[in-house]
Structure 1
Amino acid sequence: MPHAARSFFLPLGLALLTGSAAQAQDVYFSQAYANRQADNPAWAGIVDDYSATLGYRNQFPQLAGAFETVQLAADWRLPKPGLHHALGLLVSQDRAGGVGYTRFSAAAQYAYHTRLTRTLALSGGAQVGYGRQRVGYDNFTFGDQYSADGSYTGATAESLAGFPPINYFTVGVGGVLYAEEFWVSLSGQHLNRPDLGFRQQAGLPLRISVTGGYKLFLQKPVGAGKGEQREISLTPTLSYSRQGGSQRSEAGAYFLADPVTVGAIYRNLASPDLGTQHVVALVAGVAFGDLRVGYAYDVGVSPLASALGGAHEITLTLRAFDKLESAFRRLKRRNYPKAPCPDF
Structure 2
Amino acid sequence: MKKAFVTVILLLIVLFVEGQDAEYSQFYANPLYLNPAFTGTSQAPRFSLNYRNQWPQQGSTFVNYSFSYDQFLPKMNGGFGIQFQNNSESNGLVETSTGNLFYSYHIKMSERFFMDAGLQAGITYKKLDYGRLIFPDMIDQLNGETSPGLYDPAENSSLVYPDFGIGAMGQYDSYFFGFSISHLTQPDESIFVGDQKGKLPMKITIHAGARTHKLHRGLLSKEFTVSPNIIFHKQGDFSQLNLGMYILEKSLAGGIWYRQNLGLQPDAIILMFGVMRERFKIGYSYDATLSKLANYSSGSHEISLIYFLKGKHHTRKALLIPAL
TM-score by structure 1 length? 0.82
The aligned residue for residue 218 of structure 2 is none
Partner of residue 150 from structure 1, selected from 109, 132, 143 = 143
Q: In 1, Cα distance between the equivalents of 2:199 and 2:29?
A: 28
Q: Is it true that 1:7 corresponds to 2:3 in the alignment? A: no
Q: Give the direction of change, closer, same or farther, for the CA distance of 1:309–1:11 in structure 2 (3 Å limit).
A: farther
Deviates more, 1:123-132 or 1:304-313: 304-313
The aligned residue for residue 252 of structure 1 is 244
Q: Give the direction of change, closer, same or farther, for the CA distance of 1:148–1:181 in structure 2 (3 Å limit).
A: closer
Number of aligned residues: 315
Matches for 1:2-81 after TM superposition, within 5 Å? 5-13=5-13, 24-80=19-75
The aligned residue for residue 241 of structure 1 is 233
Residue pair 1:55, 1:314 contacting (<8 A) in 2 also: yes
Matches for 1:125-140 after TM superposition, within 5 Å? 125-140=118-133
Question: Shift of the alpha carbon at 1:306?
Answer: 5.5
Q: Is it true that 1:165 corresponds to 2:158 in the alignment? A: yes
Deviates more, 1:154-163 or 1:50-59: 154-163
Q: Which runs of 4+ in 1 moved over 2 A?
A: 2-7, 137-149, 151-164, 198-202, 275-278, 302-309, 338-341
Deviates more, 1:237-246 or 1:138-147: 138-147
The aligned residue for residue 224 of structure 1 is none
Question: Shift of the alpha carbon at 1:63?
Answer: 2.0
SS state at 2:58 partner: coil
Q: Give the direction of change, closer, same or farther, for the CA distance of 1:287–1:178 in structure 2 (3 Å limit).
A: same
The aligned residue for residue 284 of structure 2 is 295
Residue pair 2:53, 2:60 contacting (<8 A) in 1 also: no
Q: Give the direction of change, closer, same or farther, for the CA distance of 1:22–1:65 in structure 2 (3 Å limit).
A: farther
Q: In 2, Cα distance between the equivalents of 1:23 and 1:287?
A: 38
Q: List alignment gaps of at least 5 residues for structure 2.
A: 216-220
Provide Cα deviations, 1:274-314, integer angstroms capped at 9, x if missing partner: x3342110111102441211111001123235643211001
The aligned residue for residue 307 of structure 2 is 318
The aligned residue for residue 88 of structure 1 is 81
SS state at 1:204 partner: coil
Provide Cα deviations, 1:222-247, integer angstroms capped at 9, x if missing partner: xxxxxxx9862000001111100000
Q: In 2, Cα distance between the equivalents of 1:135 and 1:285?
A: 36
Residue pair 1:277, 1:305 contacting (<8 A) in 2 also: no
Q: In 1, Cα distance between the equivalents of 2:233 and 2:49?
A: 23
Q: In 2, Cα distance between the equivalents of 1:6 and 1:302?
A: 19
TM-score by structure 2 length? 0.87
The aligned residue for residue 268 of structure 1 is 260
SS state at 2:20 partner: coil
Partner of residue 194 from structure 1, selected from 163, 187, 190 = 187
Question: Shift of the alpha carbon at 1:61?
Answer: 1.2
Question: Shift of the alpha carbon at 1:12?
Answer: 4.9
Q: Give the direction of change, closer, same or farther, for the CA distance of 1:79–1:255 in structure 2 (3 Å limit).
A: same
Matches for 1:172-191 after TM superposition, within 5 Å? 172-191=165-184
Partner of residue 341 from structure 1, selected from 313, 321, 324 = 321
Q: In 2, Cα distance between the equivalents of 1:300 and 1:153?
A: 34
Q: Give the direction of change, closer, same or farther, for the CA distance of 1:142–1:175 in structure 2 (3 Å limit).
A: closer
Q: Give the direction of change, closer, same or farther, for the CA distance of 1:231–1:291 in structure 2 (3 Å limit).
A: farther
Residue pair 1:147, 1:153 contacting (<8 A) in 2 also: yes
Q: Which amino acid aligns with 2:304?
A: T
Question: Shift of the alpha carbon at 1:157?
Answer: 4.2
Q: List alignment gaps of at least 5 residues for structure 1.
A: 220-228, 330-334
* Alpha-carbon RMSD: 2.8
SS state at 2:265 partner: strand
Q: In 2, Cα distance between the equivalents of 1:240 and 1:151?
A: 44
Q: In 2, Cα distance between the equivalents of 1:129 and 1:99?
A: 22
Q: Is it true that 1:215 corresponds to 2:207 in the alignment? A: no
Deviates more, 1:140-149 or 1:174-183: 140-149
Q: In 2, Cα distance between the equivalents of 1:169 and 1:68?
A: 23
Residue pair 2:283, 2:303 contacting (<8 A) in 1 also: yes
Q: Give the direction of change, closer, same or farther, for the CA distance of 1:231–1:123 in structure 2 (3 Å limit).
A: farther
Q: Which amino acid aligns with 2:61?
A: A
Once the two structures are aligned, what percentage of the paired residues are identical? 25
Residue pair 1:48, 1:320 contacting (<8 A) in 2 also: no
